[in-house]
Amino acid sequence: MHADIDPAEISKNRRADVPIVGDAKEVIVDLTEAVRAERASGHANLTPWWARLDGLRETYPLGYDWPADGSLSPEYVIERLGKIAGPDAVYAAGVGQHQMWAAQFISYEQPRSWLNSGGLGTMGFAVPAAMGAKMARPDAVVWAIDGDGCFQMTNQELATCAIEGIPIKVAIINNGNLGMVRQWQNLFYSERYSNTDLGTHKHRIPDFKLLSEAMGCVGLRAESREEVDRVIQQAMEIDDRPVVIDFVVGADAQVWPMVAAGTGNDQIMAARNIRPLFDGDELVTDTGTVAAVTAEALNDSAGGTSA
């Protein structure tokens, strides 16, 4: 379906099955009414669609490996944060791997509890977004889940938080790198890591705990699985000051599934070198290293991919 106020845009880049010309404000209202009416009529049978979604969930379950080097798993940190802070908290994210994991591993149940810049991809978004949420809903627990790169774009606002009394909580998923860019350098550029190592691991520059304390916040750090719950609980108990936790996590965790640049959504990769087989696909070796496999074959090899 393609709705656009400009008829010349319809089907310009991609053929639309259902073209709708109109103002988005009106089109969305009309569509919502149409969907409500269809539901009320009892004619909408969603059972086959749910069966398909459940099948996909079963074949490609969400999961992650613990880093082989013994470091902390970023997915685990985010999963625990979501469990401990719960569905009534508000979560804001930056841009990058941590953003994708925050979308995947927190079970959102309330509308308006997940703030991120989506396709606009704005590094530095998490801290100011969390500040806005906390100002609007002072009684809510508000967490910014930020990357070590993104955090360095707007962390000066912690001073505003401390001075103006905006007690947000920040979880830095510190993988020492511009992780999303590093993932692409790993997968598509023969591991030529260029300008992605930030020094937040090797040199601990900046030291996020000290930086946060310097700006009037409580600074905490966790580097092992055993410390994770304790520092999150500690942060949950503080509500008169902003709190920042530096979670030092492994550098090599990757986000899956992913769609590589220049490929279509039907080229989505479920895991490294593994692409789901869609209706009409032929079982052939795909371009480069990406092999198309059947769901059955994937199941056989999926043993090690869950937490």
- The Cα 304–Cα 272 span in angstroms is 13
Binding to ligand TPP by residue 219, rule CB under 6 A? Answer: no
Per CB under 6 A, which of residues 76..95 are in contact with ligand TPP?
A: 94-95
The stretch among 5-13, 148-156, 220-228, 258-266 that binds ligand TPP (CB under 6 A) is 148-156
CB-nearer residue toward ligand TPP: 59 or 114:
114
Least distance in angstroms from the C-beta of 252 to Mg ion? 12
Binding to ligand TPP by residue 113, rule CB under 6 A? Answer: no
Binding to ligand TPP by residue 97, rule CB under 6 A? Answer: yes
Q: From the list 82, 96, 167, 219, which residue makes contact with ligand TPP (rule: CB under 6 A)? A: 96
Instruction: Kindly provide the b/e burial profile for residues 88-127, where b requires at least 16 CB atoms within 10 angstroms of the residue's own CB.
Output: ebbbbbbbbbbbbbbbbbbeeeeeebebbbeeeebbbbbb
Least distance in angstroms from the C-beta of 90 to ligand TPP? 20
Least distance in angstroms from the C-beta of 177 to ligand TPP? 5
Q: Spell out, one character per residue from 156 to 185, where the chain touches ligand TPP: x when CB under 6 A holds, - when not.
A: -----------------x-x-xxxxx----
Per CB under 5 A, which of residues 167..196 are in contact with Mg ion?
A: 175, 179
CB-nearer residue toward ligand TPP: 149 or 276:
149
| # of chain residues touching Mg ion (CB under 5 A) | 5
Binding to Mg ion by residue 146, rule CB under 5 A? Answer: no
- Residue numbers at the binding site for ligand TPP (CB under 6 A): 94-98, 121-123, 147-150, 173, 175, 177-181
